[in-house]
Chains A and B, each alone.
Chain A
Amino acid sequence: MAGLNLSAVSDDDDDNDQDDHPVLSAAAVAAAARSTLRPPSLQTLLEDMPDPAAVPHTSSSGGDSEEKSKSADKSSRSRKLKHDVIEAVNELIEDIDTCHEQIAEQAVEHIHHNEVILTLGSSRTVLEFLYAAKEKKRSFRVFVAEGAPRYQGHLLAKELVARGLQTTLITDSAVFAMISRVNMVIVGAHAVMANGGVIAPVGLNMVALAAQRHAVPFVVLAGSHKLCPLYPHNPEVLLNELRSPSELLDFGEFSDCMDFGSGSGSPLIHVVNPTFDYVPPKLVSLFITDTGGHNPSYMYRLIADYYSADDLVLQRKAAASN
């Protein structure tokens, strides 16, 4: 998933790339054709690097590569490439840092007076979002569900109270009970998948279902760096992490039940503690990213903005290129 477009690189090299990679899929070809107007992908750039003896006509380092000698070419190319990569990574870091403000700017459009907002767990984006609305003198209340077993909701509640917002801390079990009195659910995300589905902290699928039943808008705040070009196949299992059972049961507490010596030898207790939940796109009303508000069905276009198709379709190259 490394597709990072280096904006500093010129556009001249793509036609050359085509000759070296005749096995590119149709999608890649189309993307390459489009990318004549955009910077080349990192994969294509890096593919040319490891072969110092290769004819430098595939060099990506810009128009001035032909003017240097071969050895100088190689070192200057690698230096330039490193420079480009480092610059791009810095840009990405800056994007991540500033996405909160850009998202929070949109808060005043969505939160109005006397509203009740529900959230679960803790997300810095959500915190900034709510605070921005409060700054604009909108008065509203927040219900924070504590988000077991990490209880991040307690942290969020503390922060919100410190910033002067009316907060009510509820348990996760009370979400369905309270959601009939809520105007909007605002949550953060861990990742946004290509179909518009959300990988979110555990419990949010339940909240999304409750919101759908009560026709409450379910808004997901996600910086564009959270977009992922993958389609979620079996996300509960494949895109999940299981944490330690000690967060649910103390190790010592149930030691008398963990009798491994019985019969088949399998333990009688099995504790499940997943970290993430998958929320399907049909439950999400709106995505608010630093580029504005979007429908879940639109998210795949944003991914195409940040990832090149070359990087997604990994084809085995023909042996000749190596």
Chain B
Amino acid sequence: MEPRRPSRAVIDPKVRQVGFITPNAPPQQPVRTQSYPPESNSPPLSESPASNSLSPVMIPPPRHLSDNLTAYRTPAVPVPESSRRRAEPAAVACSYDPSESLFGTSSPAPSPLASSRLVVDGEFSEESWFKKSDSAKFASSFPGGGFDLTTVKNVGVAAAVAAKKPAAVSGNEKSKASGAESKNELPSGSGSKTSKVKMTKSERRSLQESQRAAKGGNKSAGASSSRAAKQPQQKKDAAPAPPSVAASEKKGTDRPPEKERKKDVPAPRMQFDDKSRVEKAKKRAVVNQTEVRNRVELFRHLPQYEHGTQLPDLESKFFRNDPMHRAVYKVGLQYLAGDITGGNARCIAMLQAFSEAIRDYTTPAEKTLTRDLTAKIGSYVSFLIECRPLSISMGNAIRFLKNRIAKLPLTLSESEAKTSLCLDIDRFINEKIILADRVIVRHASTKIRDGDVLLTYGSSCVVEMLLSHALELGKKFHVVIVDSRPKLEGQSLLRRLVANGLNCTYTHLNAVSYIMHEVTRVFLGASSILSNGTVYSRVGTAAVAMVANAFSVPVLICCEAYKFHERVQLDSICFNELGDPQAVAKVSGRGDVNYLGSLGNKDNLQLLNLMYDATPSEYISMIVTDYGMIPPTSVPVIVREYCRDQLWI
């Protein structure tokens, strides 16, 4: 790293990389997880092999607005865009070929930045990213309002050329991500052209305040939530998680200044033993739910409703388009019925429902699009929470969407705004989930050797993709699927893997000590990874990781980076989801086991059906994400540097 510093200092002295290098992967592959050599566009720095000698853990610092403009003047360099999450401003911004994407087919003139609010820079980079991945189609719908980046054009061209390679997409994601990260400063080469771009954070904040004051006494929940949503934009920290939408809505109106001051603490989630909050939430509830009678004391802070009572009521309301768009309603019902499970599937379904709802949306008279739409999204989210509490991945996606809505330039027409949002959603899905999964699979399959016995628990879509991919690569290995009650998700995984031709062993969680003697690696999926390295995933994962640790078997978690969260959790009780208690008492498929059939709702007997648990970080050997293969201790680094607030890269 040292030798590079002097040359890098010209452009950006503080470039750091994060992630481990996979030494065998050729540098030009779009494997996102390559360590990102901090080179900028200057040619001497751009060789990837050289980067391998760099220290593997280097983190790009957040950029400032003022930093980057000079960099844009540099000529195009053959940026090894393939898999570098480049931090330097110039390279990053340039690689997207912003001029082409922004102004290719849409509004030709650089829309005056004066009219656009905040982080057009972020948008800009995102558009260009998007252009890279899918070329003209998206660019045509770009609402404009970007920079005029003619200066960076040449750099962009080089990158665009490279972008033709399909692999480049993930590389672009990364560069876009880093570009987006630097959106704070990003005004790109256009600094000279647009005056507004160079706002620092404080300037933006003051602008926001003035705008908010101008909107004055609009006390609607939408306003408060949009305000609350906007507040986090200005802070360095991520907004409170969507499960606390209710909380933020309540708090947004009365505490904006405090939020700005308190930087690092996400708002606490709604605790269900707080009677007043529960009452308020119930009043706004769409779904009529009755609470379970026999609650486990330890979990009084979590909601628990009788299952089976909500569906008929909801089904009768299905065809009314108000208050709930039908797509969102459908997704909510699917969650309630358990038809859609798994973090990625739920997130994608929700985002697609929102996309449809946005397309059908029309702004009511005398309301602004951003605020009203944010309020509407907020109400959809509340409905989904009532159907089934949000997963952390969904929460992050909602924050992204609200952020995108809030950052819409005011000059856009309604249709343009809606299209832009839908495109954003598509991009999020493509980039954060689908492509991320591909990257993870590619990395993790390097960890599978011939003759391995791999163990997995439950059914994780990423692990399933990984095993199929490794099979396609021709590796010879054996799979052990560990399953547990009451969901018995492993059975569906077993079916699909056997259909693919894999040799599988199937067993139940209690037998994991028996089978662990023969296992060489454990691959697990996660619902989320928290900032203290704790893995929050399906209940039982912690037991599997613990037994693997006791037998000295490495445990690898495969998790997309959008699921990371800055929350921390020590054990599984602080935050969890309670499922249907009757599912514990009733054993499906085993008619002989019906010991509790007659007990009904006895006072002394409580049934507890936890859905998630928290695996301590010391049991985890490595986490494979789309940012690379990282140890659990690096998760807060990724959260802070890459998944900030609105960056969402």
Q: List 18 A-B contacts (CB under 8 A).
A: A149-B590, A161-B604, A165-B604, A170-B608, A172-B485, A176-B540, A176-B613, A177-B571, A180-B573, A181-B298, A205-B513, A206-B509, A206-B543, A210-B543, A213-B546, A236-B513, A248-B507, A254-B498
Main secondary structure of the interface of B (DSSP, over half): mixed
Residue of B nearest to A205 (CB): B513
Most buried by B among A146, A181, A271: A146
CB neighbours (8 Å) of B517 from chain A are: 236
CB neighbours (8 Å) of B70 from chain A are: none
| In the complex, A75 has a CB within 8 A of chain B | no
Asked whether A169 lies within 8 Å of B607 as measured between CB atoms, the reply is yes
Give chain A nearest CB distance to B603 CB in angstroms. Answer: 9
Interface string of B454-491 (1 = CB under 8 A from A): 00000000000000000000000000000111100001
Q: How far is the CA of A203 from the CA of B516 in the complex (A)?
A: 12
Most buried by B among A176, A181, A240: A176
CB neighbours (8 Å) of A172 from chain B are: 484-485, 508-510, 540, 543
Give chain B nearest CB distance to A134 CB in angstroms. Answer: 11
Interface string of B558-594 (1 = CB under 8 A from A): 0000000000000111001000000011010110010
Asked whether A209 lies within 8 Å of B511 as measured between CB atoms, the reply is no
Asked whether B599 lies within 8 Å of A158 as measured between CB atoms, the reply is yes
Those 8 A-B pairs whose CB atoms lie nearest each other, nearest first = A173-B540, A203-B510, A177-B572, A205-B513, A154-B595, A177-B613, A173-B484, A257-B498
Asked whether B572 lies within 8 Å of A147 as measured between CB atoms, the reply is no
Contact of B510 among A148, A155, A167, A249 (CB under 8 A): A148
Asked whether B607 lies within 8 Å of A269 as measured between CB atoms, the reply is no
A207-245 with Cβ < 8 A to chain B: 209-210, 213, 236, 240
With known contacts A210-B546, A272-B506, A236–B514 Cβ distance under 8 A: yes
With known contacts A146-B485, A164-B604, A177-B539, A271–B613 Cβ distance under 8 A: no
Asked whether B494 lies within 8 Å of A254 as measured between CB atoms, the reply is yes
Q: How far is the CA of A155 from the CA of B517 in the complex (A)?
A: 31
With known contacts A161-B605, A173-B539, A206–B513 Cβ distance under 8 A: yes
With known contacts A180-B571, A236-B514, A254-B494, A175–B543 Cβ distance under 8 A: yes
Residue of B nearest to A274 (CB): B514
Q: How far is the CA of A272 from the CA of B455 in the complex (A)?
A: 13
Asked whether B508 lies within 8 Å of A273 as measured between CB atoms, the reply is yes
With known contacts A209-B547, A272-B507, A272-B515, A167–B498 Cβ distance under 8 A: no
Asked whether B573 lies within 8 Å of A151 as measured between CB atoms, the reply is no
CB neighbours (8 Å) of B483 from chain A are: 248
Asked whether A272 lies within 8 Å of B599 as measured between CB atoms, the reply is no
| In the complex, A81 has a CB within 8 A of chain B | no
Asked whether B510 lies within 8 Å of A250 as measured between CB atoms, the reply is no
Residue of A nearest to B613 (CB): A177
Asked whether B547 lies within 8 Å of A173 as measured between CB atoms, the reply is no
Contact of B503 among A149, A160, A268 (CB under 8 A): A268
Give chain B nearest CB distance to A145 CB in angstroms. Answer: 9
Asked whether B546 lies within 8 Å of A177 as measured between CB atoms, the reply is no
Asked whether A176 lies within 8 Å of B543 as measured between CB atoms, the reply is yes
CB neighbours (8 Å) of B602 from chain A are: 161
CB neighbours (8 Å) of A177 from chain B are: 539, 542, 571-573, 576, 610, 613-614
Asked whether B606 lies within 8 Å of A250 as measured between CB atoms, the reply is no
Give chain B nearest CB distance to A105 CB in angstroms. Answer: 25
Q: How far is the CA of A252 from the CA of B508 in the complex (A)?
A: 18
Asked whether A254 lies within 8 Å of B495 as measured between CB atoms, the reply is yes
Residue of B nearest to A247 (CB): B590
| In the complex, A166 has a CB within 8 A of chain B | yes
| In the complex, B505 has a CB within 8 A of chain A | yes
| In the complex, A174 has a CB within 8 A of chain B | yes
| In the complex, A270 has a CB within 8 A of chain B | yes
CB neighbours (8 Å) of B498 from chain A are: 254, 257, 268-269
| In the complex, B328 has a CB within 8 A of chain A | no
Contact of B608 among A147, A160, A174, A210 (CB under 8 A): A174
| In the complex, B596 has a CB within 8 A of chain A | yes
| In the complex, B499 has a CB within 8 A of chain A | yes
Q: How far is the CA of A178 from the CA of B543 in the complex (A)?
A: 11
Asked whether B595 lies within 8 Å of A151 as measured between CB atoms, the reply is yes
B607-622 with Cβ < 8 A to chain A: 607-610, 613-614
| In the complex, A14 has a CB within 8 A of chain B | no
| In the complex, B296 has a CB within 8 A of chain A | yes
CB neighbours (8 Å) of A174 from chain B are: 539-540, 608, 610, 613
| In the complex, A111 has a CB within 8 A of chain B | no
Give chain A nearest CB distance to B31 CB in angstroms. Answer: 32
A49-106 with Cβ < 8 A to chain B: none
Asked whether A167 lies within 8 Å of B546 as measured between CB atoms, the reply is no
Given contact pairs A146-B584, A169-B585, A268-B501, a sample of 5 additional A-B residue pairs in the complex whose CB atoms are under 8 Å apart: A148-B510, A171-B484, A171-B584, A177-B614, A209-B550
CB neighbours (8 Å) of A240 from chain B are: 514
| In the complex, B502 has a CB within 8 A of chain A | yes
Asked whether B573 lies within 8 Å of A167 as measured between CB atoms, the reply is no
Asked whether A168 lies within 8 Å of B509 as measured between CB atoms, the reply is no
CB neighbours (8 Å) of B507 from chain A are: 248, 271-273
Q: How far is the CA of A147 from the CA of B508 in the complex (A)?
A: 10
Interface string of A129-167 (1 = CB under 8 A from B): 000000000000000001111010011011011001111
Q: How far is the CA of A253 from the CA of B485 in the complex (A)?
A: 17
Asked whether A148 lies within 8 Å of B509 as measured between CB atoms, the reply is yes
Main secondary structure of the interface of A (DSSP, over half): mixed
| In the complex, B512 has a CB within 8 A of chain A | yes
Q: How far is the CA of A209 from the CA of B514 in the complex (A)?
A: 13
Chain B interface (Cβ within 8 Å of chain A)? 296, 298, 483-486, 491, 494-495, 498-499, 501-515, 517, 538-540, 542-543, 546-547, 550, 571-573, 576, 584-585, 587, 589-590, 593, 595-596, 599, 602, 604-610, 613-614
| In the complex, A277 has a CB within 8 A of chain B | yes
Asked whether B607 lies within 8 Å of A168 as measured between CB atoms, the reply is yes
Residue of B nearest to A236 (CB): B514
Q: How far is the CA of A274 from the CA of B508 in the complex (A)?
A: 10
With known contacts A180-B573, A277-B513, A151–B599 Cβ distance under 8 A: no
CB neighbours (8 Å) of A176 from chain B are: 540, 542-543, 546, 572, 613
Most buried by A among B486, B510, B608: B510
Asked whether A268 lies within 8 Å of B504 as measured between CB atoms, the reply is yes
CB neighbours (8 Å) of A178 from chain B are: 572-573, 608, 610
Asked whether B296 lies within 8 Å of A250 as measured between CB atoms, the reply is no
Asked whether A273 lies within 8 Å of B502 as measured between CB atoms, the reply is no
Residue of A nearest to B483 (CB): A248
| In the complex, A309 has a CB within 8 A of chain B | no
Asked whether A148 lies within 8 Å of B484 as measured between CB atoms, the reply is yes
Asked whether A151 lies within 8 Å of B605 as measured between CB atoms, the reply is no
Residue of A nearest to B502 (CB): A268
Contact of B506 among A146, A203, A250, A271 (CB under 8 A): A271
Most buried by A among B509, B543, B589, B609: B543
CB neighbours (8 Å) of A161 from chain B are: 599, 602, 604-605
CB neighbours (8 Å) of B604 from chain A are: 160-161, 164-167
Q: How far is the CA of A283 from the CA of B609 in the complex (A)?
A: 27
Asked whether A148 lies within 8 Å of B485 as measured between CB atoms, the reply is yes
Give chain A nearest CB distance to B474 CB in angstroms. Answer: 15
With known contacts A151-B593, A270-B506, A169–B606 Cβ distance under 8 A: yes
Q: How far is the CA of A247 from the CA of B511 in the complex (A)?
A: 13
Q: How far is the CA of A167 from the CA of B296 in the complex (A)?
A: 10
CB neighbours (8 Å) of B509 from chain A are: 148, 172-173, 203, 206
Residue of A nearest to B615 (CB): A176
CB neighbours (8 Å) of A253 from chain B are: 491, 589
Most buried by A among B491, B498, B513, B610: B513
Asked whether A170 lies within 8 Å of B584 as measured between CB atoms, the reply is yes
CB neighbours (8 Å) of A171 from chain B are: 484-486, 539-540, 584, 609-610
Residue of B nearest to A264 (CB): B503
Residue of A nearest to B604 (CB): A161
CB neighbours (8 Å) of A284 from chain B are: none
Give chain A nearest CB distance to B58 CB in angstroms. Answer: 34
| In the complex, A202 has a CB within 8 A of chain B | yes
Q: How far is the CA of A269 from the CA of B490 in the complex (A)?
A: 13
